[in-house]
Amino acid sequence: MKNYRETIRAELAATRKVFHALLDSLSESELGRKSYNPGWSNGEILVHMMFGFIILTALLPLARLWARLPKWTSKPFAWLLNAFTGPFNWINALGARGQARLFTYTRLGKIYDWANSQLMKQIDHIQDDEWERGMYYPTRWDPNFDEFMTIRELFRYPVKHFNFHLDQIKRF
């Protein structure tokens, strides 16, 4: 189980370096320019990528709780969340657009670092027998969600999500 901790820590640390290199490579004005994702600016995509790390800090306690219950119990919850995909997508896009306007260039790096440090701390609180427990997820919300994900896989989600969107940032 220590291997999981080391692997996840290394992935989070490597992604942090990529995030800061990407942020440093863009000027404040370039954050407002269109990305390769239609309808989204570079800043909106970057905030959205960062939000994958922030959401995990909130999602982990829920996942750990559900992981202690019988496996089937989270399936109806995932189904319910999938039923609300339309409103979720609207809120997700609206949130990224609003946050891209609120978070200054400097704050983006600080907020990302905060989320990264929170995840690093949470790794230490996962018990050895928890890593392979998990819950069902709303697969319609994000192609990076699997139908059932373990705590180990959930920790890897924000890195996977980050890499999924990385090529959507337009560099000038």
Res 1: pLDDT: 55
Give me the residue spans of the domains in the chain.
2-166
Residue-wise burial string across 51-83, b where 16 or more C-beta atoms lie within 10 A, e elsewhere: bbbbbbbeebeebbebbeeeeeebeeebeebbe
Q: How far apart are the C-alpha atoms of 30 and 94, rounded to whole Å?
A: 20
Regarding the domain delimited by 2-166, which CATH topology (the fold level of the hierarchy) does it fall under? Four Helix Bundle (Hemerythrin (Met), subunit A) (1.20.120)
Point out the least confidently predicted range of 25-34, 77-86, 98-107: 98-107
Residue 8: half-sphere exposure toward Cβ, Cα within 13 Å:
24
Res 2: pLDDT: 62
Q: What average pLDDT does range 47-63 have in this prediction?
A: 92
Write out pLDDT tens, residues 111-157. Answer: 999 999 999 999 999 999 999 999 999 998 888 889 999 999 999 99
Q: How far apart are the C-alpha atoms of 102 and 105, rounded to whole Å?
A: 10
Res 97: pLDDT: 75
- 3-state class (DSSP) for residue 150: strand
